[in-house]
Amino acid sequence: MTKTRLCTSVGAETPAELAKKAALALSLGSDLVELRIDRLSGGISLREVEGAVRRFMRRAVITVRSEADGGGFRGSEASRLEMLSRLAEMRPAYLDVELEAARANEEWAGSLPRGVKRIVSWHDFHGTKPLAELRAIYKEGLKRGALAKVVCTARSPDDNLTVLRLCEERPGRVTAFCMGELGMVSRVVSMSLGAPIAYASLPNEAVAPGQLSVSTMKTLRKMVA
């Protein structure tokens, strides 16, 4: 069974603060750090961002999430994709690419540097679709990237069971869990089912509903994995 790697999501207003938080996450035992570039304040140059975070690339997941997908990037889609391309040139461990973006921009996706692994992600902020639909989503994600990430919102405890089936079906390739208070259990159980990555936060700095701290997730991983 694949050992789940912990990935701490960090966001900040400035590149220097983002780098500081990334260093803290790794010092607390995180295996990877998700750099939420979309949470930086406007008016910051990409060169400044690159200079601040370059040293973390071997253990970084680069994410530039649009507002439509629950992120903070407010520019055009063309500028967002251009930024992802530039950041991919630094050869991070993973580049997070939304399934919708990959579908709509196949030429762009094909132009990304070879050797940069993609996490093809899909989020539902309103609920949890039936298993058959979620299964089709992760299968498409795996055709377009190294890993598929399927994130739903738990409206009932049973939603966790639906989403965790995805991890069980493709251990080592699919990260799937539910957001929200009702979904916390899925974040933990996914580690026992072979999810390649489990997301955590810095203490008291969750960037998604239901995230647990990296220290808590590290302890729970020992218990369930």
Burial of 195 (0-12, 13-18, 19+ CB in 10 A): buried
Our answer to whether residue 143 is catalytic in this structure is no
The question of whether 126 is a catalytic residue gets the answer no
SS3 170: coil
Residues 6+ apart with CB under 8 A from 182: 154, 155, 156, 157, 159, 160, 210
Sheet of 197-201, strands arranged across:
174-179, 147-153, 117-123, 94-98, 60-63, 32-36, 5-10, 197-201
**Which positions ≥6 away from 165 have C-beta within 8 Å?**
131
The single-letter DSSP state of residue 66 is B
Q: Which entry of 21, 123, 129, 218 is annotated as an active-site residue?
A: 123
The one catalytic residue in 21, 129, 149, 218 is 149
Task: Based on DSSP, count helices (H) and strands (E) in the chain, helices before strands.
Answer: 9, 8
Which structure tokens are listed for 114?
Answer: 């070879």
HSE, side-chain direction, 13 A CA sphere, residue 199: 28
Active site residues: 123, 149
